[in-house]
Amino acid sequence: MSFRKRGEVIGRPNARVPNVIAGRGGEPVTAPGIPGRAPLGPGIPGRVPPSGMTPELLANQVQNLSVEEVVKHPGVRPSSITSQATVSTGSADLDKILGHQGLPLGSSLLIEENGTTDFASVLMKSFASQGIVHSRLDPKNSNTHVIVLSSNNSWGKELPGIYKGSSRDQKKSRILANENKVSVQNLLDNVERPTTPSKAKTETKDNDLRIAWRYGLNDGAKKQQTANLDNETYKDFNNQFDITSRLTPTPNANEITYIPLGPSFKPVIKQLELTIQKHKNKVIRLVIPSFLNPSMYPPPLTTSQESLQFIHSLRSLTRKYSKSLVIGMSIALDLFPRETSLVKNIEILSDAVFNLEPFGQDMLKFLEKAYHNQPTKVQHGLVHVYKVPQLSERGQMLIMKSEFAFKNGKKKFEIEEWGIPVEDEGEPQQTTQNIDF
């Protein structure tokens, strides 16, 4: 058995340390210590920048990692639920039902429709029109680009224009514009005259406020006030579109791109990604109207294998470009029923799924009879909600069937809460004959 001397450090043969107190052993403070135990020095690994990295370069690298590029887009607002950036679908009613006050970036919206009608095309065109309107807010710096998956290059000519209000509203706006002009007559008319409100009017107003507070009649006013505040904060977020008018001027090549369909979806995906990269730092709206319609899609593309691979590719693109890409797609359930595995898988791969179920002739006749004095209240079908972005993926059951109805009016497409109207049978006829009891 061999022993080491007290002054000899373990692991350093033939090395004696001076100034060691007898009987204590170990190393003095001035000696190099165990890594991680001694005071910080210039030679400790992991505590200094790597070779070739100056403090200036290191500071720049940290800044690039901590600062995120955020595009100031007038058509983007944070979600009211998840604070994720969202864009409008072109329909304010649809934005509310989505729960986020819009469609979150990096999400896809699927609109299904039963029957032989084509109400879904109205939503798809409004979705595209909203993007064109946003891109024209700043003529020098376009912020939105629309991509349409279609061989029909004249599809953009059918986009609806901005709703300017009814004829009465337009007349009021013209009068208001004339009143705001600086003229001698307007200055004379706008002279303030002292007026003293009567005591009776003040008491009536106070009584109305008490009644409204007691029965909760001012809840609607509070909601309206919140909505007005939202509209002032994000005044360019969404617009109302007139389906009877057309967007002028027609979208040009800098605002909209058409991707034609071929025998395979692979070149479509390549061209789509190239277009997205070409318009980086812009919000990209991809519109896919009448998906898998035989009149537009070649037979090889309508197979389950080809179409599902394409949907998988679209989903990967939304995840890759999660801060710039949104997708709107419509499909006819008469051609591809919802019970088939193809449509079920498309729903699974979509972030939001809505279904339009138009009313039959009997129901339409009943509604027209019930609203014979108010024809503008006649609805044209039901709206079913099967999936909502972000929330449905988290496991929340947000399926809402037959809770909303849509109507395609003379000027605009609206979605509202559904309720079966009560048919007015009229007043009972009076008789002059005596009735014996």
Q: How high is the pLDDT of residue 70?
A: 42
> Would you say 56 and 380 are in contact if contact means Cβ atoms under 8 Å apart?
no
Q: Tell how far CA 233 is from the center of its chain.
A: 16
| Dihedral angle, C-alpha 26, 32, 34, 40, nearest 10 ° | 130
Specify the residue for token string 């680009």: 145
Rounded CA-CA distance 350/347 in Å is 5
Over residues 401-427, the pLDDT tens digits come to 989 999 988 788 999 999 877 765 555
More confident position, 411 or 154 = 154
E strand segments, 289-390: 325-332, 352-358, 381-387
Running DSSP on this structure, what letter comes out for residue 422? P
Q: Is the pLDDT of residue 45 over 60?
A: no
Over residues 216-243, the pLDDT tens digits come to 555 555 555 555 556 667 888 999 999 9
Rounded CA-CA distance 330/390 in Å is 20
Average pLDDT, the chain: 79
Q: Tell how far CA 30 is from the center of its chain.
A: 65
Question: Using CA of residue 359, residue 334, residue 97, residue 289, what is the dihedral sign?
Answer: negative
Over residues 298-323, the pLDDT tens digits come to 999 999 999 999 999 999 999 999 99
Tokens coding 260: 């034609």
Segment 333-353 mean pLDDT: 95
Over residues 54-71, the pLDDT tens digits come to 555 444 443 333 334 344
Tokens coding 39: 């005071």
Specify the residue for token string 């690039």: 64
Rounded CA-CA distance 215/208 in Å is 11
C-alpha pair distances (Å), 342 with each of 116, 296, 331, 349: 20, 18, 12, 11
Say which CATH topology domain 83-163+235-361 has. Answer: Rossmann fold (3.40.50)
Rounded CA-CA distance 224/218 in Å is 10
Rounded CA-CA distance 282/185 in Å is 47
Tokens coding 386: 């099967």
Neighbours of 108 (CB within 10 A): 24
Helix then strand count (H, E) for the chain reads 11, 14
Question: Using CA of residue 144, residue 149, residue 152, residue 158, what is the dihedral sign?
Answer: negative
Q: How much is the pTM?
A: 0.71
